[in-house]
Structure 1
Amino acid sequence: MAKTLLSRRLMLAALAGTSMVAAGFGLVGTAAAQEARIAAVVQSLDTEFNVLWADAANRHPLVEDGTIALTVLDGRMDALQQSNQFDTAIAEGYDAIIFVPVDINAGNDPVQRAMEAGIPVIGSNTLISDTDLYESYISSNDVEAGRILAESVIEKMGGSGNVVIVEGMIGQSAQVQRLEGIEEALAANPDVTVLEQRTANWSRAEALSLVENWLISRGGEINGIIAQNDEMAIGALEAVKAAGLDPAEVPVAGVDGVTDALLAVQRGEMMSTLQDADAQAQGAIDLAMAAIEGEGYEPRAAVWDVNGGEMAWDGGQSQQYSVPWVPVTADNVEDLLAMRQNQ
């Protein structure tokens, strides 16, 4: 059961051997004492999707009006860095932590430490392997994303031919689960052969180099490219074009709906599926506040059915919330680009 903000802080102060005044929380019942402090430990602020996520979190109505003091911490794609950031957030007595983990397994211990300190942890976007440790989590189904990826390329190939798979950072939940979905699609299409499969660590530059090498070594054998995110798909697309190949003849697909991917879809050069950073980030803020304030909390993000969105809020009491994917098509890409420009 969620504790009140005040009771959480009293408990944390007692654990630390300090008084509320000594901890800097002021007099009980004051507005200052009731400001919620939330730390968001994210993978990296060097990738567009994570920046979109952080920007969306900062646009949450309660962050904008000062009800929530949000601190976004850059994990720099380093699980140890994220673990240290958890220790800092615990020591500083944050009321809740939102976690976008770098590694599916290494993220378990920091979450366990926070929960033992009485600080609820909300998962968002990528996940840890022991999701039972979360107070709740909100993400999109990455197995489904993998299937969408593979099926879109296979369909463009006419159901047969050779593909290469560009994977994300090994050990992240998105890499693991998207690969599972890709393999399900491949198993259903036995006339498709995987020629090469390697990580490019979610990086456009690494994917460009990797696919350039494959195109040289494999000549004209490659009929399609399945990339586990848009950054790598764009790098693969650049390699295809640099080799003088027609993107229509070597279809490329990615996931996330980053701006350059939307523009490439608009040009008819690749396929993408948008991952809703706004819903995942702002939904996580609402779930963190529900964990802090309890069942009476009313969500503010537009993603929830109470605000005209698509997901049932369910009082903020469910452990898992799944944000729908948005296939990027010729019919909706203009609207998605306009929305991006207005953010």
Structure 2
Amino acid sequence: MSRQGPRQYPPRKTIPQPKEHELKTIIRLAALALALSLSATGPALAQQAKKTWKVGAAVYGLKAEFAQLWVNALKKHPLVKDGTVKLTVFDGKYDALTQNNQFETMITQKYDGILFVPIDLQAGADAVSKAAEANIPVVGSNGRVNSDKLLSYVGSNDVIAGAMQAQAVVDAMGGKGNVVILEGPIGQSGQVERRQGNLSVLAKYPNVKVLEMKTANWSRAEALSLTENWLTAHAGKINGIIGQNDEMALGAIEAVKAKGLDPKTIPTAGIDGVSDAVRAVKAGIMASVLQDASAQSQGALDVLLRKLIGASYKPRSAMWAQYGAAGLQWDDGAARAYNIPWTPITLQNADALLAQRK
């Protein structure tokens, strides 16, 4: 048996390497092909990458005009209008339990963030804590809640407003006489803080006495009925009326008229700057200060979006430029509280405010 010799292999072929100018051509063609591919699929990729943020606005109640102004302004935020924010508004029906249940719904449905206008300073804290446990940021607006889990608060300082309205009534009374105070829902931050502002001013005037101080729950109808009772119980003795919001002040004015009295003889003040109150200021039968619903709701959404989107987010609401000269700064959306200044309603600005709502 013969032995075979070593196996023979064909000579290895050398793969020719492209020359430099050929290599540049290959790179250019590859880059062109990639660019064409991206241009064809880019819009689809961009659409896939675009994030829609699911945001809930939990508002204590939607019957009164101020809450409606707040919600309507929120819907006009640029990123709500262009669909970047999918907004759902929840009517709390002036009930803390209802608001807590709405938070449960938003947590279960995995909302990205929540804007909270609470009915109760204390009860709302539990809802905020539950959202925080689910890693859902909450920004408060218009009303405060006692919780360190709240991302931020965008609203106005109600102590200041309470002091402003009480001072207006006392000045119109000449620093002496009897007043009645119509309060908001007991336990809501607006009621708590506006009362503080009211009483801080009245304490400076020993000749001013508070005859009555009860809640009318931000309601014009309740205030009308309550004031009618007071006007009967204290006939001829009520010299001024402090309504902790405009709706109640307007209800009180209706009661005064129903008793056949001239409302100009009983100075009355409210807070918020709702449309009927602006008209009453023009008529000389009421004083009020504007609580800027648009700045509150749109500013709150800006702060929430800064948390969700990150440092690249730039605020879209015009309120930052509007109040910048008054000291309200964006501060990269990281401040714990943003207090929007109050604006007294006057004959000079009344028509402009009404025109904005047409």
- The CA distance in 2 between the partners of 1:306 and 1:280, in whole Å, is 12
Pick from 323, 327, 341: which aligns with 2:340? 323
Give the aligned partner of residue 222 of structure 1.
Answer: 238
Secondary structure at the aligned position of 2:135 is classed as coil
1:87-236 matched pairs, under 5 angstroms: 87-130=104-147, 132-236=148-252
Give the aligned partner of residue 285 of structure 1.
Answer: 301
Give the aligned partner of residue 26 of structure 2.
Answer: none
Judged with a 3 Å threshold, the aligned counterparts in structure 2 of structure 1 residues 31 and 251 are, in CA distance, closer, same or farther, namely farther
Judged with a 3 Å threshold, the aligned counterparts in structure 2 of structure 1 residues 182 and 217 are, in CA distance, closer, same or farther, namely same
- The CA distance in 1 between the partners of 2:101 and 2:339, in whole Å, is 28
Secondary structure at the aligned position of 1:70 is classed as strand
CA shift for structure 1 position 257: 0.5
Give the aligned partner of residue 281 of structure 2.
Answer: 265
Q: Is the Cα contact below 8 Å between 1:306 and 1:313 reproduced in 2?
A: no
Question: Match for 2:59: what amino acid?
Answer: V
- Tell me the matched-pair count: 314
Q: Is the Cα contact below 8 Å between 1:302 and 1:309 reproduced in 2?
A: no
Give the aligned partner of residue 57 of structure 1.
Answer: 74
- The CA distance in 1 between the partners of 2:282 and 2:339, in whole Å, is 27
2:319 is the alignment partner of 1:303: yes
2:333 is the alignment partner of 1:312: no
Give the aligned partner of residue 243 of structure 1.
Answer: 259
- The CA distance in 2 between the partners of 1:162 and 1:31, in whole Å, is 66
- The CA distance in 2 between the partners of 1:73 and 1:306, in whole Å, is 28
Q: Is the Cα contact below 8 Å between 1:53 and 1:277 reproduced in 2?
A: yes
Give the aligned partner of residue 23 of structure 1.
Answer: none
- The CA distance in 2 between the partners of 1:265 and 1:164, in whole Å, is 20
TM-score by length of 2: 0.85
Judged with a 3 Å threshold, the aligned counterparts in structure 2 of structure 1 residues 167 and 28 are, in CA distance, closer, same or farther, namely farther
* Structure number with larger C-alpha Rg: 2
Question: Match for 1:71: what amino acid?
Answer: T
* Sequence identity (%): 54
Gaps of 5+ in 2: 1-43
2:91 is the alignment partner of 1:70: no
CA shift for structure 1 position 88: 0.7
- The CA distance in 2 between the partners of 1:248 and 1:55, in whole Å, is 33
CA shift for structure 1 position 305: 3.3
2:49 is the alignment partner of 1:39: no
CA shift for structure 1 position 244: 1.5
Q: Deviations over 1:139-190 (max 9, x none)?
A: 1000001101110000000000000011011010000000000010011111
1:21-36 matched pairs, under 5 angstroms: 30-31=47-48, 34-36=51-53
- The CA distance in 2 between the partners of 1:263 and 1:307, in whole Å, is 25
- The CA distance in 2 between the partners of 1:72 and 1:298, in whole Å, is 24
- The CA distance in 2 between the partners of 1:317 and 1:117, in whole Å, is 21
- The CA distance in 1 between the partners of 2:191 and 2:46, in whole Å, is 46
Judged with a 3 Å threshold, the aligned counterparts in structure 2 of structure 1 residues 169 and 307 are, in CA distance, closer, same or farther, namely closer
Question: Match for 1:69: what amino acid?
Answer: K
Q: Is the Cα contact below 8 Å between 1:43 and 1:75 reproduced in 2?
A: yes
- The CA distance in 1 between the partners of 2:325 and 2:104, in whole Å, is 35
Q: Is the Cα contact below 8 Å between 2:323 and 2:340 reproduced in 1?
A: no
Q: Which has the higher contact order (CA 8 A, sep 6+)?
A: 1
- The CA distance in 1 between the partners of 2:277 and 2:184, in whole Å, is 17
Secondary structure at the aligned position of 1:175 is classed as helix
CA shift for structure 1 position 308: 6.5
**Aligned alpha-carbon RMSD (Å):** 1.6
Secondary structure at the aligned position of 1:80 is classed as helix
Secondary structure at the aligned position of 1:299 is classed as coil
Q: Deviations over 1:94-148 (max 9, x none)?
A: 1100000011100000100101111100000001122x22111101000001101
- The CA distance in 2 between the partners of 1:52 and 1:260, in whole Å, is 13
